[in-house]
Structure 1
Amino acid sequence: MSKTLLEKQYDPTGKPTGRILMIDRWGFKEIPIDTPILSHAATVGAGNDMDREITISVLTDVNGDNNPRWISFEAQQVWLVFNDRFNEDGTPKAIFAS
């Protein structure tokens, strides 16, 4: 029997791992995501250019209990950089929200 769309999304087989890069006026932070990233999303908060907060959310099975959760990261600039997905020039694929 074939898998449903939801089952395919939650299947960690072949899904990338990565890291979050957060940049704001206080500095830079890098957070590894060692579990497969099942899905991701980005939102932009209201505000002017200096105070706008950006959020990248990642769906991953943090605890390894087959119960994926959304984890959100908020800063003035947020990058989701994939560890095992690359562009043609060899640089890592990334999602940038600013």
Structure 2
Amino acid sequence: MKSEPAVGHITKGSVFDDPALFDPERAAELKMRAAILRGLERWLENSGMTQTAAARHLGVTQARVSDIKRGRISGFSLDLLVRLAARAGLKPTLRLAA
């Protein structure tokens, strides 16, 4: 009979907030990248465009659009995501909190 694995800890909120997985600086960047990627995913869904048309609009390949749709965050830098969001008309902004 298999025993269930022990749970070391449980993270509430975002997985990026787990200090066992990410240092605070990396977590901040990943949260921003994830937010923009989710916005681009929604834009793609609501645009009604094919992946090929969306790729043309964003100035990337169809494979990159597929990566956006699949949420492959590791394939996108923060600066690229900001540029893609701007091309999609999403008007990316940054707000800092103390």
Give me the TM-score of the superposition, normalised by structure 2: 0.25
Give me the TM-score of the superposition, normalised by structure 1: 0.25
Greater strand content: 1
Greater helix content: 2
